[in-house]
Amino acid sequence: MILLDGKKIATDLKVEIKRTVDQLVKDKKKAPHLAAVLVGNDGASLTYVGSKVRSCGQVGFKSTLIRLEENISEKILLQKIYELNQDDSLDGYIVQLPLPKHIDEEKILLAIDPNKDVDGFHPANFGKMSLEMEAFIPATPFGIIELIDRYGIETSGKHCVVIGRSHIVGRPISILMSQKGKAGNATVTVAHSRTKNIKELTLNADIIISALGIPEFLTADMVKKDVVVIDVGITRVLEKGAPKGYIIKGDVAFDEVSKKASAITPVPGGVGPMTIAMLLKNTLLACQRKD
């Protein structure tokens, strides 16, 4: 069984990105600049954004954290988005989700300049990705493709079952896995909360990518021997005695499924680190495209 170590591959990617940034600086070109907009004080969001800012420092990027009050109006937030769109010093920026309930997330994401949309959530980028045109690919699916490719997992002609249909992970990864090119050419089935025969589908899958958000949903009796399992789930489960009062669990019952899998991602340390690494890669691409 191969453990698909996202932490290791993400570290390798950061080394490669830093090498490129160092060369840019040596050639008297500017280092990439990534900004993050954080609205409110959500604990998980603070953690994620903090990790992204630290990662920028590791690879030589300039980073800017823009913190806004939770009660900010949608109008003022849109004005801030407009300012970021016009800021030539910025190569890319992200708006950390979720946003407060009084703000329309769709309206905010649509307002982001697609050329600075390094999260890859804007419909212009999603559409271009679907048509196999140059685009910013959402960081988590981008990371999954990179992880599969670097471990040499065969995908061509394989049956891939994607569990989950979100616009952030499930839908884009289902498109990418079916496309021509690296880590593609698979026959893809998308399952979700309304699918009635998920076990029947997963038992016939060569590759399973689970992004459902239900802890330990995928169990050993749902998979065949030598399956490849990519676990995107990351859920905080309360547990007395744990240092933080909770533990992180994925969608996959790792201990039992790993005994049947030929390759599997751990949680944490699998897809999560890849997401941040690919956000950095998108920012580098944005900088290079501007030049």
Give me the active site residues, please: 52, 96, 119
The answer to whether 95 and 65 have CB atoms below 8 angstroms apart is no
**CA atoms of 159 and 153, how far apart (whole Å):** 13
**CA atoms of 93 and 33, how far apart (whole Å):** 8
Alpha helices in 131-246 (DSSP H): 139-150, 170-178, 198-203
Which CA distances in Å does 252 have to 57, 178, 184, 217?
Answer: 33, 23, 23, 6
**CA atoms of 79 and 138, how far apart (whole Å):** 24
**CA atoms of 13 and 280, how far apart (whole Å):** 9
Q: Give the pairing of strands 246-249 and 235-238.
A: antiparallel
